[in-house]
Amino acid sequence: MTTVYDVTDWIIPGSSVTCYTDIGAVINSMIADIKSQQPSQAAKPGAVIYIPPGDYSLKTRVTVDVSYLSIRGSGHGFTSLGIRYATSDTSAWHEIWPGGSHIRVENTDGNVEAFIVTRSGNPRLSSIEFEDFCLDGIAFVPNQNSYVNGKVGIRFDSATDSARVNNMGMVFLEHAIVARDVDAMSITGNFLCECGNAIELTSSGQASTVTNNLIGAGNFGYSIFAESHFGLLVSGNNIFPRGKDLVHLKNCSLSIVTSNRLHNFYAGIVTLEGTCTENLITANHFYRATESTSNGLDDLFGLVQINGSNNSVTANHFSFAVPPGQITPSGATPTIILVKSGDGNSLATNHIVAGVSVKTVVLDGSTTNTHILDSGTTAELQAYSTSYSFRPTP
């Protein structure tokens, strides 16, 4: 019995399909083989499926429903399709597609995902790993700037524990990674760029980490989204435009966003939506620049917007570089940090640099007991509430 599979030498019984014509069908056949080879409940170590460098087409969605499956390539293979499609004549180019262990996501099975991880029954799936290959959505529609094609790279669709997505490359997918109900997941070292949305942690989850990734999303998508997560660590990521929001936490608690570099073309860089409590946002570099696209948010939204109580925003640097004529609503004084709701939020030692007059902190009338220390001058505070303490930056 082997536990080491190679897509290039697998023959689907009775079929002429190969990894080049449909790598999805090949991997599904391998998974079926794993299940037949490992029938005993007490002896299911799983397997590793290797994808050598090459150009593969995926026509059939892969369903991962065995624990301990590792799917690995030898190259994340990113190249910028954005630059390529924006170039009128590429006939002299050396190459025009991504590469490495390169899977073209071209489903003909009616599904939108290249990979789905899902299983019913107990226990939940454990230790599924995706590593070091490339998922390429090929093109957006109706145009290459839309970020729309419906395609999903990897969807975790039932609860999992201790999954990993490491060192992958993904490009031109509407959704790169969508993971629901993940616990103790690691998403590390990935290159997720020119995707509509990069990382979406939905439904719930705890004690997961998103670290050391390079991320660029679309102007209506999320770079990192987490819903009802608890104890999430977002650290050491270099996140560049675009992105409706670079880190968007919805109803999350006791999580930490630290040591990230966060660059966007719009308001909305870190948003705590709904009821977010006791989260820490510290040691991040925020940079708001401009281009002609929009994410629909105006400059009163805040680079950071907080909804919920007892959060900390400490020791961050903010650079706001928007020419006066491009500020929206026209004539408005832009907001850097908006405390939109909640009690007991703390903002301290944030250095805000702006080429125009800004409100470094705005407190909604509903907010109470906000503490604002060394995060701007008195003139830069806009308090619609009277329930706060304030120490201006000297």
Of 80-119, binders to a second copy (CB under 8 A) are 80, 83-84, 87, 90, 92-102, 119
Q: Give Cβ neighbours of residue 19 (< 8 Å, ≥ 6 apart).
A: 7, 8, 10, 26, 51, 54, 56
Nearest CA among 388, 368, 366, 369 for reference residue 378: 388
Pair 287, 256: CB distance under 8 Å: no
CA dihedral 185, 254, 302, 260 (to 10 degrees): -50
Q: Is the previous residue joined to 13 through a cis bond, with omega within 30 degrees of 0?
A: no
Residue positions counted in the chain: 394
Instruction: Name which of residues 237 to 256 contact a second copy (CB under 8 A).
Output: 237-238, 240, 254-256
235 vs 382 by CB, closer to a second copy: 235
**Least gap, CB of 268 to a second copy (angstroms):** 18
| DSSP three-state, residue 35 | helix
State how far the Cα of 77 lies from the Cα of 305, in Å rounded to an integer. Answer: 35
Closer Cβ to a second copy, 311 or 335, answer by number:
311
Question: Of the listed pieces 24-32, 67-75, 138-146, 362-370, which binds a second copy according to CB under 8 A?
Answer: 67-75
Among 12, 112, 159, 280, binds a second copy (CB under 8 A): 280
- The first and second tokens of residue 382, run together, are 């806009």
- Which one among 161, 203, 275, 381 touches a second copy, defined by CB under 8 A? 161
- Span 218-237, contacts to a second copy by CB under 8 A: 231-233, 235-237
Q: Could you tell me the smallest distance in angstroms from the CB atom of residue 312 to a second copy?
A: 4
Q: Are 327 and 336 in contact (CB under 8 A)?
A: no
Cα R_g (the chain), whole angstroms:
23
Residue ranges in 165-224 that form contacts with a second copy under rule CB under 8 A: 166, 169, 184, 186, 188-189, 191, 193, 206-209, 211-212, 214
Report the nearest approach of a second copy to the CB of residue 66 (Å).
8
Question: What is the residue type of 170?
Answer: M
Min CB(93)–a second copy separation in Å: 5
Q: What is the largest CA-CA distance in the chain?
A: 77
Q: Least separation, in Å, of the C-beta of 34 and a second copy?
A: 9
| Residues in 300-339 at the binding interface with a second copy, rule: CB under 8 A | 310, 312, 314-317, 319
Name which position in 278, 333, 369, 385 contacts a second copy (CB under 8 A).
278
Range in contact with a second copy (rule: CB under 8 A) among 105-113, 196-204, 258-266, 299-307 = 258-266
Q: Which of 24, 46, 196, 205 is the binder for a second copy (CB under 8 A)?
A: 46
- Number of residues engaging a second copy in binding (CB under 8 A): 112
Alpha carbon 280 to chain centroid, angstroms: 19
Query: Under the criterion CB under 8 A, does residue 261 sit at the interface with a second copy?
Result: yes
- Footprint (CB under 8 A) of a second copy, residues 341-380: 344, 346, 348-349, 351, 353, 371, 373-374
Measured from the CB of residue 163, what is the shortest distance to a second copy in angstroms?
10
Partnered with residue 272 across adjacent β-strands are 249, 306
Structure tokens, 216? 């660029």
Q: Which of 117, 90, 242 is nearest to 178 (CA)?
A: 117
Residue (2 or 326) nearer to a second copy, CB: 2
Residue 234 and residue 224 in contact, taking contact as beta carbons nearer than 8 Å: yes
Q: Of residues 25, 58, 63, 75, which one binds a second copy by CB under 8 A?
A: 75
Amino acid at 289: A
